[in-house]
Amino acid sequence: MKKNLVAGAGFSGAVIARLLAENLNETVLVIDKKSHIAGNCYDFRDKNGIMIHKYGSHIFHTNSDKVWNFLKRFTDFNTYMHEVAGIIDGIEANIPFNFNTLYQVFPESLARKFEEKLLKTFEYNTKVPILEFQKHEELKFLADYIYEKIFLNYTTKQWGLSPKEVEGAVTARVPVYLSKDNRYFQDKYQGIPLEGYTKVIENMLNHPNIEVRLNTPFESSEGFERIFYTGSIDEFFSYKYGILPYRSVYFKFEEYAMDYYQSHACINYPNNYDFTRIHEYKHYLKDQSSKTVIAKEYSEQFEIGKNERYYPIACKENTELYNKYLKEAEKLDNVYFLGRLGDYKYYNIDNAVERALNLFGEIV
C-alpha cells in the first residue's frame, strides 16, 4: 500500500505534502486536475515580462510567525503593502472607508464634523463593521452614505446577496476604519513572493519523496494509507446531500501600450459597471515594461462544469449543508479534508497554510 495521496497542488496540498515528505520521510503522490500547480494562486510571466495572477490578485499577509517562517524557507517577499481605491461618485477614494476617504468625498467643513462625531463614538484606530456602524442614530447619514455608496452594490455584485443575507464574518472584511492608515491589511507581515506564487509551490514540492501528476482528477482513495483532499467536500461524497453553493469569478484581460492604467493594483467599482474591480498586475512586483495588463473581474454563481469555485457563500443554510458532509467525513479514518473547498471556509493564503500546519501537528 502506498503512503500518502494529496489531491490538490495549491497551498494546502503543497504544505501538507512537504511536511509529510520532509518530517516523516514518507512518500507522497500529489495530483491535480489542472494543468499546473499552485491552484488559484497560479501566476506566470507573460510576453511583456509582467507577472500575471491568472485567477485574480493574491496578496500575502499574516500575523502568524509560524506561517511566515515556514513560507520564508521557500521564497523571499518584497515589501508591498496593499492599498485599494474605489470610484465613489466619480471620485477615486481610499477603501476601506477611513478618515482620508472622509475628506476625499465630502467638503472639508462637513468632513470635519463627521470626524468629530466618529471620535466621540468610537476609539481611534479601530475597525467597525458597516452593519454595526448603522446602529448609531447620530451617524445615520454617514452610515447610510457609506453603506449605499461603497458596500451595498459591491456586495450584491460580488455575492449575489444583500449584505444582510451574508454572514458577519464576510461583511466584517470590509469595515469602516477609524484611522488614516490607507493599507487594506494591517498584518505584521505582508508582501508578494519575488518569483511569484507558482515558484513558491514548486519549491515546496521539490522533494525526493514527492511525486506530482497534473491533469489527474481524483477518482479513488483506495491503495493509500492516508488521503488529504483539498477539493470540494460535497464533490468527494458525490453530492449526496446536494451541491454546496459558491461564487465564481471570471476575468477579462486587456493589454495597453502605457506604463500604468490606474493608480493602484486594485480599484473597486461599487456602483458603476457590471464588473466589481480592475486589477493591474505591474504594481505588485514593479515589473518594468512599456505595456501593462489589466483584468476586469466579474462575479457569477458557480455551476459545475462551467466555472471554478472561488468563494464559499457563508449563510446559515449553507453551513447546515456543509455540516452534513462534515459528519460523513468524520466517519472516515484515513481521509483528511482541508483548504477553502475542503473546509468550506473563506481562507486567505495564511489561513490555508496554518490549517495545513496544524493538521500535520494533529497527525503527528
Per-residue pLDDT for 155 more than 90? no
Per-residue pLDDT for 113 more than 80? yes
Please, are residues 96 and 176 in contact by the beta-carbon 8 Å criterion?
yes
**Strand pairing report for 246-256 and 292-301:** antiparallel
Tell me the C-alpha distance between 351 and 333, whole Å: 24
For the chain, list the domains and their CATH numbers.
2-76+194-241+312-363 (3.40.50.720), 84-177 (no CATH)
- Residue range 136-152, pLDDT digits in tens: 888 989 989 998 999 88
| Structural Rg of the chain based on CA atoms | 22
- Residue range 198-223, pLDDT digits in tens: 999 999 999 999 999 999 999 877 78
pLDDT attached to residue 59 = 98
**Strand pairing report for 210-213 and 189-191:** unpaired
Tell me the C-alpha distance between 343 and 331, whole Å: 16
Reduced to 3 DSSP states, what percent helix, strand and coil does the chain have, rounded to the nearest 5? 35, 25, 40
Per-residue pLDDT for 25 more than 80? yes
The mean per-residue pLDDT over the stretch 149-178 comes to: 77
> Helix, strand or coil for residue 228?
strand
The mean per-residue pLDDT over the stretch 182-202 comes to: 97
- Residue range 230-264, pLDDT digits in tens: 999 999 999 999 999 999 999 999 999 999 999 99
pLDDT attached to residue 174 = 64
Q: Which three cell numbers stand for residue 256?
A: 495597453
pLDDT attached to residue 167 = 64
% pLDDT > 70, the chain: 97
Q: Which residue type does 278 have?
A: I
Q: How many CA atoms lie within 13 A of 127 on its CB side?
A: 14
Per-residue pLDDT for 169 more than 60? no
Q: pTM for the complete prediction?
A: 0.94
Per-residue pLDDT for 104 more than 90? yes
Pick from 271, 265, 274: nearest CA to 297: 274
Per-residue pLDDT for 297 more than 90? yes
Tell me the C-alpha distance between 97 and 129, whole Å: 11
At residue 117 the predicted structure's pLDDT band, cuts being 50, 70 and 90, is very high
Adjacent-strand bridge partners of 28:
4, 210
Per-residue pLDDT for 173 more than 60? no
Per-residue pLDDT for 171 more than 60? no
